[in-house]
């Protein structure tokens, strides 16, 4: 069991969420999701992705420990690749008619963590927006590029969940394009931290909700 899997289990147990480990496939090169999680007695499938230090990051950490390096902000495709990999596992396992959840845990040491982790994650989920500024001071979103979880692709992914070991907490980033929204389940009341995108004419705005930490809205 990896550190991220143990952490996820601790969080699910902490909040009384029922789950079961999915046995590994006996078919060579066929990967399965990690967990079957029950929400409102409905099955959901969760895949855990742990970002461990790669060879270059380990070299940076070693230099840092020796006093020869500075803190380095890693900016890579690893978050995007993790989402792609998890989606492939859901699809190959044939569970795309159920809510699917991708769990991400950044296991890298502080000196090589991506300081723009959440920005990179949200951009991977929903793309990078382009805005048009009007002469009247208004701003309107006119396009959104490179979204992995758009309205036409991977709508079976209900959310991306980021887990943190220092507090044993989870932040649920809901997919606004999901065909199975977790916002309609008890998980919104059980877990404390959520973000969800809402499509508004006004563009990207922030507001608070009584049961969510933050809501970010997209035009």
Please list the alpha-helical segments (H only) found in the chain. Answer: 3-14, 55-65, 78-93, 117-126, 187-190
pLDDT the model gives residue 204: 43
Name the pLDDT band for 60 (thresholds 50, 70, 90). low
Burial (CB count <10 Å: 0-12, 13-18, 19+), residue 36: middle
State the Cα–Cα distance between residues 143 and 128, nearest whole angstrom. 8
Name the pLDDT band for 57 (thresholds 50, 70, 90). low
pLDDT the model gives residue 207: 41
Dihedral pair phi/psi, residue 74, rounded to 5°: -80, 130
Name the pLDDT band for 156 (thresholds 50, 70, 90). very high
Tokens of 107: 């296991």
pLDDT the model gives residue 201: 62
Q: Mind listing the pLDDT tens digit for each residue in 91-122?
A: 999 999 999 999 999 888 766 677 778 888 98
> Can you say whether the dihedral through the CA atoms of 190, 192, 193, 197 is positive or negative?
positive
Lowest mean pLDDT among 6-10, 198-202, 204-208: 204-208
Out of 3.10.580, 3.30.470, 1.10.10, 3.40.1350, the CATH code matching 3-127+157-196 is: 3.40.1350
Q: What is the mean pLDDT of the chain?
A: 82
Q: Is the pLDDT of residue 172 over 90?
A: yes
Lowest mean pLDDT among 36-45, 55-64, 151-160: 55-64
Tokens of 13: 């147990």
Please list the alpha-helical segments (H only) found in 94-217. Answer: 117-126, 187-190
Lowest mean pLDDT among 1-5, 108-112, 209-213: 209-213
Q: Is the pLDDT of residue 83 over 80?
A: yes
Q: Is the pLDDT of residue 137 over 90?
A: no
Which 3 state secondary structure label does DSSP give 57?
helix
Mean pLDDT of 55-71: 61
Name the pLDDT band for 72 (thresholds 50, 70, 90). low
Query: The tokens 């396009």 sit on which residue?
Result: 143
Tokens of 102: 């991708």
Mean pLDDT of 197-214: 50
Lowest mean pLDDT among 18-22, 142-146, 161-165, 215-219: 215-219
pLDDT the model gives residue 170: 94
């Amino acid at each position: 069991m990896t550190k991220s899997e143990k952490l996820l289990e601790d969080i699910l147990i902490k909040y009384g969420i029922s789950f079961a480990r999915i046995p590994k496939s006996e078919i060579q090169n066929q990967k399965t999701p990690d967990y079957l999680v029950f929400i409102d007695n409905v099955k959901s499938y969760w895949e855990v992705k742990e970002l461990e230090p790669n060879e270059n990051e380990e070299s940076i950490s070693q230099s840092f420990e020796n006093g020869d390096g500075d803190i380095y902000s890693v900016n890579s495709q690893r978050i995007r690749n993790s989402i792609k990999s998890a989606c492939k596992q859901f699809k190959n396992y044939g569970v795309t008619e159920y809510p699917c959840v991708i769990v991400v845990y950044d296991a890298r040491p502080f000196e090589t963590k991506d300081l723009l982790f959440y920005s990179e994650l949200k951009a991977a989920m929903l793309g990078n927006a382009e805005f048009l500024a009007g002469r009247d001071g208004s701003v309107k979103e006119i396009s959104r590029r490179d979204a992995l979880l758009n309205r036409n692709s991977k709508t079976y992914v209900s959310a991306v969940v980021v887990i943190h070991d220092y507090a044993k907490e989870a932040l649920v980033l809901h997919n606004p394009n999901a065909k199975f929204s977790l916002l309609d389940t008890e998980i919104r009341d059980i877990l404390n931290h959520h973000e969800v995108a809402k499509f508004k004419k006004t563009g990207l705005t922030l507001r608070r909700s009584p049961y969510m930490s933050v809501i970010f809205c997209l035009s």
